[in-house]
Amino acid sequence: MKLIAETAWHHDGDFEFFKNLITEISTKTQTETIKFHISLDLDEYIHPDHAGYQWMKERMFTEQQWDEVLNIALSHNKKLMLLFNDKKAIDFGMKYKPEIVEIHSVCLNDITLLEHLNSKINKDTKVVLGVGGSDLYEIENALSIFKTLNMVLMHGFQNYPTKYEDINFGKVLKIMQLYPQFEHGYADHTAWNNENNILLTLLGANLGMQYIEKHVTTVYGEERVDWQAAISIEMFNEIAEKLKVVEQAFGNAKLVLNSGEKSYSTFGTNKKAAILSKDVKQGEEFTNESFTFKRTGQSSDLSQLDILDKIGQKISKDLTLGHCLNSKDFE
């Protein structure tokens, strides 16, 4: 399970703040991957009549500035997760050969953008689709653009902040079950000061996610872009430690008993074993009347089902009342 440090537009157009944020995340958090939202062609992404157009225009970074910021992360051996809002951003970002690329849920069915990204990726590029606030028809259409199974459906959405009653983990789990061929992630946007912030993140992780995203800040509680869901570096690291526990507890999901389950399932001392209810003679037929199931201080290599399969077989030697039956007791 990978914990991703999300930066989004938290820089608020302050380049020096952004460089410091990336340095702090790179040097002080337990993350392998830092996520960046790259916009270079604002007019492709948003119409001038949108209330956020002028705000975003004043906070855009140049390619040279993005080069500087991305190289800070790379200099600390961090992996890049690049979210693209326009084709120019795709062309720029793909020069870095990022391990993970993403299309935001607001662009989920922008066919031109998706097709352009699809033309730039290779078989090793992991493509993340933000699916928060999207229906199955939208998800299915976006998936149809990409001819790769190396994809992640990223659940969760930013609702400044997202109320826990709107998260709908039950729905998320159903979507995961519909697409078992893909990896899944949960981008948590619980309020920064919600007492259940870490708990809700862990609950999302425990659905079987391969990726968890959290907004991170160096100015915890300060009102700037995306501050509503931005947690401190200390909280981020606490989540990283707790996710290790969640991952261990989730296990490998294989339908075979692991060593702990096998130890618990010992027949005799834990699970009931077959105990002779009478003396039996060598060559005697084993019947339902020959035994009863009980917990005992003795142990057996035969499960309760194994014993039932032995009915009708011959006893291999004389045995006495109270004996715990094993494989060697049958011909």
pLDDT above 90 (res 36): yes
Q: Is the peptide bond before 180 cis (omega within 30 degrees of 0)?
A: no
Reading the block at residue 311, the tokens are: 């009915």
Whether residue 193 is found in the same domain as residue 316: no
Whether residue 217 is found in the same domain as residue 287: no
Whether residue 8 is found in the same domain as residue 95: yes
pLDDT above 90 (res 162): no
The domain total for the chain is 2
Structural domain ending residue among the three candidates 250, 275, 310: 250
pLDDT category of residue 158 using cuts at 50, 70 and 90: confident
- Tell me the pLDDT tens digit for each residue of 186-210: 999 999 999 999 999 999 999 999 9
pLDDT category of residue 126 using cuts at 50, 70 and 90: very high
Report helix angle 233-250 to 197-205, nearest 10. 30
325: containing domain: 259-329
CATH of residue 64? 3.20.20.70
**Three-state secondary-structure class, residue 35:** strand
Whether residue 279 is found in the same domain as residue 205: no
The number of residues making up the chain comes to 331
Closest by Cα among 47, 32, 86 to 63: 86
pLDDT category of residue 278 using cuts at 50, 70 and 90: very high
The pLDDT of residue 159: 85
Whether residue 209 is found in the same domain as residue 61: yes
pLDDT above 90 (res 164): no
